Amino acid sequence: KKKLPLVNKKVLVTAGPTYEAIDPVRFIGNHSSGKMGFALADELASLGADVTLIAGPVALKSKYNSIKRIDVTSAADMLTACLDNFADADACVMCAAVADYTPAQVATQKIKKTEDHFNIELKKTTDILKTLGAQKRDDQVLVGFALETNNEELHAKEKLQKKNLDLIVLNSLNDSGAGFKSDTNKVTLIDRNLNKTVYDLKSKTEVAHDICLKVTQLLTK
């Protein structure tokens, strides 16, 4: 029997959206389903990796009991969970749709409907991927995602460099059947040397397989 390629490799995966509280009953969120990240975690586990899955609020379940799941709500929670687990990880695949902005203040009581116009002040969240990129060791592999609507490749390459990634997975909203809620995705992988591979539209399970092959190459080279 062939040995699984990722045995003894620890891989951290983030998945799903984050919810940023406005008050005790409301939040700012996004349409991320978590399907791509969960498919990645399943695929990595099937290759023998020791997977920790940091999941935003989603109702999904993993295929394997061996996957260690950490449920988080906000971008700040996700950052803490990532930092707690980063040093131990051989690879990190950051698939979550992390909020870029969060309310500057969280109201302690439910906000009343009084004003005709109402503003919520937002402040930037910490870019988790960039933070990890800045503390990455040479032996660690860091993978990010980019969802772009225009100048996709240029923006993805800029992110790869700015965040010190080994690989970026570009998914374009311009491709039908790709992105947020669907069960399919169409991706382009770009590595550190700016080598680019364009894939066909496939199920997220198959896309996860393609991404994990590349991650395996990066981890075992």
Tokens of 124: 């930037």
Asked whether 207 and 181 are in contact (CB, 8 A), the reply is: no
Q: CB–CB of 71/59 below 8 Å?
A: no
Q: Which is nearer to ligand C5P, 5 or 153 (CB)?
A: 153
Q: Which amino acid is at 59?
A: A
Of 8, 30, 151, 185, which residue is the catalytic one? 30
CB closest to ligand C5P, residue no: 128
Q: Cβ of residue 29: shortest distance to ligand C5P, in angstroms?
A: 14
Question: At its nearest, how many Å lie between ligand C5P and the CB of residue 83?
Answer: 12
Closest distance of CB 146 from ligand C5P, Å: 5
User: Could you tell me which of 152, 16, 13, 183 has the C-alpha nearest to residue 85?
Assistant: 13
Known binding-site residues for CTP equal 100, 110, 145, 159, 163
65 a catalytic residue: no
CA separation, residue 56 to residues 60, 65, 200 (Å): 10, 18, 28
Identity of the residue, 14 or 216, whose beta carbon is nearer to ligand C5P in the bound complex? 14
Rg (CA), the chain: 18
Q: Site residues (CB under 6 A) for ligand C5P?
A: 14, 75, 94-96, 98, 100, 125, 127-129, 144-146, 159
Active site residues: 30
